[in-house]
A = this chain, B = another copy of it.
Amino acid sequence: MDSPFSEYLQARRAEVEAALTAALPTPPECPAVVADAMRYSVTAGGKRLRPILCLAAAEAVGGDRSLALPAACAIELIHTYSLIHDDLPAMDNDTMRRGRPTLHVVVGEAMAILAGDGLLTEAFALLTRAPETNDPAVVVRTLRVAGVVAAAAGATGMVGGQALDLAGSRMPSGVRSGAAPLDADGLRVMHSKKTGALIRAAAVAGAIIGGASDAAVERVDAAAGDFGLAFQIVDDILDVEGDSAGLGKTPGKDAAAGKPTYPALFGLDAARTMAAECLQRAERALGGAGLAESRLMDIGRWIVTRSN
């Protein structure tokens, strides 16, 4: 597949990966033991969906993509930290991620916890770096974006979603929440926080930095909300259908762990239909701001048709 969109993805991914590497702290200011741990996880690859979505949103609204690069990288650092902490023995106890041993397997639990803490904090160092211009509007936007990302990543967003996920299933540490397994509504709320909030923040951050009107930011937010839901539904489908090599992790793990999934609750066909409907709603939302013909929609289609 050598279509223009796959070239676009490749180019943005290369930009993001170069900027991520440059953004990580290094010795001597940063002790090597934690710098190496952070780098191990950040350079482990991955789709780079969130930062690319952020860049594409900035472009779609007519902004300068390069101004969104720090926020795009910050959001990927937050995503990476969340994977490190989710993989810990006390959480999901995952030993493989993106085809490599997870960080705690390589450096021990303590350093993995710290590397995650370091990445989360570094993300906010990036988000609050003073812009090169003194233009008050740009400074206000920078602060606004940092606030949007903080709200999405915190206990009312991503962290809260992981807490609901843990509470809805048996905790590996042997602590039982006593809560009933999640139903369809509970599953939607959990995922809207756990994965949806940061995906939305990525798109919203790009749109704000790109100078979008409040109305356009709202449209982008709504579309990204549907992208996030579609992303999760497809993740669940791939967990049923995928093979270990393509996924870089063990398929069937969620089902085996008794975690609720979209295919388990609705069946595979209905889950596929739901993902397609997400895409249609997103297209309508973006269309209302004249953004349906943009890389944003291409990213939505990629989310639904991806195989890993």
Copy number in the complex reads: 2
Mask: chain A, 9-29; 1 = CB below 8 Å from B; 0 = not: 000000000000000010001
| A146 to B144 alpha-carbon distance, docked (Å) | 12
- CB of A30 within 8 A of CB of B128, answer no
Beyond A33-B177, A110-B171, whether A125 also contacts B143 by CB under 8 A is no
Partner of A85, one of B117, B129, B150, B151: B117
Min CB gap A109→B, angstroms: 4
A 21-57 to B, binary, CB cutoff 8 A, 1 in contact else 0: 0000100011101110010000000000000000000
Number of A residues near B (Cβ < 8 Å) is 59
* Residue A172 is within 8 A (CB to CB) of chain B in the complex: yes
Write the A56-87 contact mask toward B (1 if CB under 8 angstroms, else 0). 00000000000000000000000001000100
Give, as a whole number of angstroms, the nearest-CB distance from A240 to chain B.
25
- A125 in contact with B147 (CB, 8 Å): yes
Contact B117 A159 (CB under 8 A): yes
Task: Encode contact with B along A147-184: 1 for CB under 8 Å, 0 otherwise.
Answer: 10011011110011011101100011101010000000
Q: Tell me whether A29 and B156 are in contact (CB under 8 A).
A: yes
Shortest beta-carbon distance, A106 to chain B, in Å?
Answer: 10
**CB<8 Å pairs between A and B, sample of 22:** A31-B155, A31-B167, A33-B163, A33-B167, A34-B155, A34-B160, A34-B163, A81-B117, A90-B110, A91-B110, A91-B113, A107-B175, A108-B171, A110-B172, A111-B175, A114-B155, A114-B166, A117-B159, A121-B153, A124-B124, A128-B128, A128-B147
